[in-house]
Amino acid sequence: MMVAEGIKRFYSEPDAIITLAGFYNGCSLYTMLLFGLIVYAVIAAYLFSREHSEKTLKTILTIPVSKTSFIISKFIMLFIWILALMIVTWFGTLIFAALYGAIFRLGEFSIAVAIEYLGKMLIGGALMFLTISPFAFLATWTKGVVVPIIAAATIAMVNVALTNEALGALFPWTATFLFVDGRMAQTGYPYPLSIGLIALVSILGFLASVVYFKREDVK
């Protein structure tokens, strides 16, 4: 999408300068507010509902491992998946930006910039992991993927509406992007408040998932 947007801008605005940083900014926007959110919610829904849909939960729990350890291992796997996909996204953006620069005009291509954005995207991935826990609970509760995906799509639409609004700092899923993009100060809300809201959503989702799973009767 970033390449397509760059090509369109190249022909519609010939004097416009497109940079590697611009590619990464656009990539972070789409990943953290739209497509990445939905993809990670789908992964969470699959991880936390697959034993129910495949009717294998009773068999798995015969292994001498507690329910708490079992569900924590799923959160760890979700965290690994999110960071891995963020790295793949970072690397893919670097490759496509290089290809774009070889054919069209790229104002600046710097490995230092790429490394800087790798750090930003890893931090963004960690923050996104914190806000994905409610979808894990929805998958555990409903034992399916439909409800978490609908919830993720709804939140993505809210993200779009709040991206350029100060209230975005109070909406955890938008606040993650504003924090990584360095735009939190512009909202007028303090950093601790936004981080606290992100942490609250994460803790509630995590605790709800663990408590519900521990109390659930295995059928």
For residue 183, pLDDT beyond 60: yes
For residue 121, the model assigns a pLDDT of 92
Q: What is the pLDDT of residue 17?
A: 75
Q: What is the pLDDT of residue 39?
A: 93
Alpha helices in the chain (DSSP H): 2-12, 20-33, 35-53, 57-60, 67-103, 111-142, 146-162, 172-180, 184-187, 191-215
Which of 59-68, 103-112, 190-199, 201-210 is predicted with the least confidence, judged by mean pLDDT? Answer: 59-68
What pLDDT score does 152 carry? 94
Burial of 219 (0-12, 13-18, 19+ CB in 10 A): exposed
Neighbours of 192 (CB within 10 A): 9
pLDDT of residue 201: 95
pTM summary value: 0.87
Q: What is the mean pLDDT of the chain?
A: 86
Pick from 1-5, 11-15, 118-122 the range whose average pLDDT is largest. Answer: 118-122
Percentage of residues of the chain with pLDDT beyond 70: 87
Region class of 188: left (phi > 0), else alpha (psi between -120 and 50), else beta: left
C-alpha distance from residue 135 to each of 19, 46, 95, 105, 106 (Å): 35, 10, 32, 41, 39
The domain spans of the chain are 2-54+64-214
Q: What is the pLDDT of residue 126?
A: 95
